[in-house]
């Protein structure tokens, strides 16, 4: 805790307005949407790539925040008479200075972890391995950036006696700042991979940049084979290495996978003594991460017996939070294997992005080994839940039972065990709610998830919300600051789930959404979406819904325009509309030749002595490029753009005000930056497809479609498979029947070897005809079992490759995925 006056002394900020110099600051706030305890918060108005924090000061002030760090000397502080305003040159640097000073208050050991991969897993495993011996503070999730690290270090408290922080960088010059904040006493270098290569001249520059984290460390842990190629680093006397080379401090003599077990027995030598340890993993990445942890435990002098016992109990850690549809009109946020206070804050922030009309329910287990006193821990949990306006708490565990009094302001249910909760009537009564499920592993909350989630067959479309946000920001970065962004969520958000995607887009403050039909817009409104929504194909029978749900129609012909105007006259109401201009697509829209007639109609008086322009506000005028994704049509696209500019000038001159003008779709955003105009329309690009194929490597795949093997059969040569006996075994053949068919969106065009799927990393063909609910694949060359996972598409087997195999486009593959296929949304 620091007072505002102390913050000024630490940062040398200029207090351009100081009303409450003794205000105590407990929380550093960077995102206005993640507000807790406003009277104790200091907001940092960061001018970022996508948002300027200064734009959110007014909203935060109205919510009770009174202290702000700003970088705009001309900021209108007179509008906020009770506010503290600290003026600085660099807001992020100021945040780091505060965190660095806070770090100086503590003398206990600090472990700093960096590398290209494995940072978060090593941090989480170390915390589990050391929890019996230390009271630990650690980075939440993967808070390892220029702003994530300061927020992590800010958590340090006198109740802790060990800190574990991770640090990640993407370009030269970043690590020195993070080193000043973390100041680790023990360093761990996980490995060097390709991540963020583009930010450095070469790999050597990248490893040297990462190595700066270890300035001042007493010891640095790393893999001998990873470091031997960098002689000056390799000869650092502080190094404690593991590897197969005899020169490693911990030399691995042998590795053996135990029969029928997911266990690797490792024989190693340390300080001239031989040891054996059983590691409950067989993959190389996990073994590498465990070895880093092993050396850290040896350095910290943890007894060998404890090391073996703790490592044998390690399990894969779910690094993602999943959003699933539940029974009785509920959504589940499944964070059932992760339960700490920092993680709870992150989960509650994610919960706040969901439908505000739904009841907020939190199911929590006791928080184990938090390093805090029980009273302080459960009082802090209660404060968090109250600040996020949680409607109902269902708590499991003896500690919650002891501290019920802290939760009296909430609707609560307390039980001691998960077994008692499963049949509880309160659980069965949950409906129309978003439910956060978060518990320590021993409480086995996966049983709750199974009971509450919607029951569907085993085919699942997983949607990576982090990847979706990455793609959104990729396109945002190409725009001018004043160019608006409309995002297409029609066709069930290209198969991804319209309500879930729309909530994320609303949270990230896009300007407009667009749907094909009014019913899609109604669905979004009923699920709490308040953004402006354009309806691209309004029918006369839906005009009532347009007004009722504040939806804005695209009007593209005299017939639909006149019908809508007459409807408004009859209702005595007005509306915002969007005019579609046909500049060469020849699908929908007013042609340039029709514009004089259109303008005449808009200005003529109706029988009620008003003009159409008095009944409607033209929110935007737009057109559509016919060949934006192909360079062969570039000249034609330029002609369309020029014609559109002429038409919009004509319209704006006639109506007397400016309208939003937009003509570019996803491929157009990339190919024609000079034509971004007032707004662009982002569609397939958001979902990971760069239609030009110019910058596909800049986007992330957002979805993975997977199913399971239902049954395995063995065919003799000449036997047939499926309807029409189209699949013929040309040799002794092993087939697998998988739980996906054309009713799920797996096209019949994939029949008879055209389609390929991935089974245990091997690409195998479809055999015979695709059926309605299932398909058969040839797995003769693959080791498989019934129940094994089958990938229809992912990073390795792309949607683009699938589309090309049946001569279609990725749009069709995505939008054909049936709504009966379960959608699971997740955040890393």
Active site members? 490, 723
The b-or-e profile of 231-257 (16+ CB within 10 A means b, else e) is eebeeeeebbbbbeeeebbbbbeeeee
In 3D space, the residue among 648, 535, 566 whose CA is nearest the CA of residue 599 turns out to be: 648
β-bridge mates for residue 162, sequence order:
136
Strands (DSSP E) found in 454-545: 460-464, 484-488, 512-515, 533-535
| CA 814 vs CA 275, 459, 493, 626, 772: distances in Å | 53, 15, 9, 21, 18
Give the integer Cα–Cα distance in Å for 167 and 182: 9
Structure token pair of residue 1: 């805790």
Question: By the 8 A CB rule, do 46 and 90 touch?
Answer: no
Residues 58, 59, 64, CA angle at the centre, nearest 5°?
95
d(CA 698, CA 619) in angstroms, rounded, equals: 32
Q: Which H or E run contains 764?
A: strand 762-765
Taken in order 610, 616, 618, 623, the sign of the CA dihedral is negative
Cα–Cα distance, 176 to 178 (Å, whole number): 6
CA pseudo-torsion sign 759, 763, 766, 772: positive
3-state DSSP call for residue 108? coil
Query: Are the C-beta atoms of residues 155 and 141 closer than 8 Å to each other?
Result: no
- Phi, psi angle pair for 354, to nearest 5°: -85, 180
The closest of 95, 94, 85 to 65, measured between CA atoms, is: 85
Residue 615: how many other CB atoms lie within 10 Å: 22
Residue of 264, 266, 262 lying closest to 243 (CA atoms): 266
Q: What are the φ/ψ torsions at residue 693 (nearest 5 degrees)?
A: 60, 25
CB 415 within 8 A of CB 439: no
Q: Dihedrals φ, ψ of 619, to 5°?
A: -70, -40
C-alpha to C-alpha distance for 752 and 773, rounded to whole angstroms: 16
Q: Which residues contact 144 (CB under 8 A, 6 or more apart)?
A: 119, 120, 152, 165, 166, 167, 168
In degrees and rounded to multiples of 5, residue 597 shows phi and psi of -65, -40
d(CA 402, CA 374): 9
Distance, CA of 467 to CA of 827 (rounded, Å): 9
């Amino acid at each position: 805790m620091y007072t505002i006056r102390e913050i000024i002394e630490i940062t040398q900020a200029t207090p351009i307005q100081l009303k409450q110099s003794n205000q105590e600051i407990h929380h550093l706030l960077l995102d206005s949407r993640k507000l807790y305890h406003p009277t104790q918060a200091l907001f940092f108005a960061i001018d970022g790539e996508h948002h300027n924090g200064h734009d959110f000061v007014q909203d935060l002030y109205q919510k009770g925040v009174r202290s702000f760090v700003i970088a705009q000397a001309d900021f209108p502080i007179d509008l906020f008479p009770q506010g503290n305003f600290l003026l600085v040159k660099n807001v992020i640097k100021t945040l780091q200075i505060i965190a660095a000073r806070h770090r100086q208050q503590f003398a206990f050991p600090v472990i700093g972890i960096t590398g290209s991969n494995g940072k978060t897993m090593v941090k989480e495993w170390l915390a589990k391995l050391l929890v019996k011996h230390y009271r630990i503070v650690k980075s939440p999730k993967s808070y390892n950036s220029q702003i994530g690290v300061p927020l992590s270090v800010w958590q340090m408290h006198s109740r802790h006696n060990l800190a574990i922080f991770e640090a990640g960088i993407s370009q030269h010059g970043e690590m020195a700042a993070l080193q000043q904040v973390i100041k680790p006493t023990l360093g761990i270098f996980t490995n060097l991979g390709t991540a963020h290569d583009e930010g450095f001249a070469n790999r050597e520059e990248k490893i040297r940049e990462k190595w700066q984290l270890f300035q001042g460390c007493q010891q640095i842990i790393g893999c001998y084979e990873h470091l031997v190629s960098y002689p000056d680093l390799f000869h650092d006397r502080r190094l404690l290495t593991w590897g197969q080379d005899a020169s490693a401090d911990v030399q691995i003599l042998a590795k053996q996978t135990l029969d029928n077990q997911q266990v690797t027995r490792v024989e190693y030598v340390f300080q001239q003594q031989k040891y054996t340890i059983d590691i409950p993993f067989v993959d190389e990445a996990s073994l590498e991460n465990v070895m880093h942890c092993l050396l850290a435990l040896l350095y910290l002098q943890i007894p060998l017996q404890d090391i073996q016992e703790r490592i044998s109990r390690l399990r894969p850690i779910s690094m993602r939070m999943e959003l699933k549809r539940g029974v009785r009109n509920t959504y589940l946020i499944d964070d059932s294997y992760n339960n700490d206070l920092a993680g709870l804050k992150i989960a509650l922030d994610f919960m706040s992005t969901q439908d505000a009309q739904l009841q907020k329910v939190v199911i929590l287990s006791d928080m184990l080994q938090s390093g805090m006193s029980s009273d302080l821990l459960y009082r802090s949990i209660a404060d968090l839940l109250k600040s996020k306006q949680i409607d109902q708490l269902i708590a499991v565990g003896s500690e919650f039972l002891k501290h019920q009094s802290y939760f009296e302001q909430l609707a609560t249910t307390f039980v001691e065990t998960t077994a008692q909760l499963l049949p509880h009537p309160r659980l069965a009564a949950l409906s129309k709610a978003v439910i956060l499920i978060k518990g320590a592993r021993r409480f086995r909350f996966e049983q709750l998830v199974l009971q509450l989630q919607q029951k569907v067959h085993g085919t699942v479309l997983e949607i990576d919300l982090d990847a979706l946000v990455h793609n959104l920001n990729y396109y945002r970065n190409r725009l001018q600051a004043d160019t608006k962004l409309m995002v297409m969520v029609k066709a069930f958000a290209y198969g991804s789930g319209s309500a879930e995607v729309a909530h994320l887009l609303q949270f990230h403050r896009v300007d407009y959404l667009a749907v094909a039909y009014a019913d899609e817009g109604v669905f979004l409104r009923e699920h709490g979406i308040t953004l402006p929504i354009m309806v691209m194909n309004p029918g006369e029978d839906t005009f009532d819904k347009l007004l009722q749900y504040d939806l804005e129609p695209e009007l593209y012909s005299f017939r639909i325009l006149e019908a809508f105007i007459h409807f408004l006259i009859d209702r005595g109401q007005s509306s915002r509309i969007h005019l579609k201009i046909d500049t060469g697509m020849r699908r929908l829209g007013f042609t340039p030749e029709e514009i004089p007639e259109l303008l005449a109609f808009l200005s003529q008086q109706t029988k009620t002595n008003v003009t159409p322009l008095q009944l409607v506000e033209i929110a935007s005028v737009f057109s559509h490029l016919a060949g934006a994704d192909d360079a062969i049509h570039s000249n034609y696209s330029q002609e369309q753009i020029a014609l559109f500019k002429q038409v919009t000038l004509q319209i704006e001159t006639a109506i007397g005000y400016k309208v939003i003008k937009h003509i570019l779709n996803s491929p157009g955003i990339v190919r024609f930056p000079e034509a971004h105009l007032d707004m662009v329309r982002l569609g397939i690009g958001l979902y990971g497809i760069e239609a030009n194929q110019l910058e596909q490597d800049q986007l992330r795949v957002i979805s993975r479609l997977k199913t399971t093997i239902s049954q395995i059969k063995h065919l003799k040569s000449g036997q047939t498979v499926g309807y029409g006996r189209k699949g013929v075994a040309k040799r002794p053949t092993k087939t697998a029947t998988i739980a996906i068919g054309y009713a799920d969106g797996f096209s019949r065009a994939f029949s008879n070897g055209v389609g390929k799927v991935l089974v245990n990393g091997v690409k195998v063909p479809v055999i015979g005809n695709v059926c309605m609910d299932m398909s058969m694949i040839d797995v003769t060359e693959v080791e498989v079992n019934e129940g094994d996972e089958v990938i229809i598409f992912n990073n390795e087997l792309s949607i683009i490759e699938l589309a090309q195999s049946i001569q279609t486009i990725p749009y069709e593959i995505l939008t054909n995925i049936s709504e009966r296929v379960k959608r699971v949304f997740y955040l890393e």
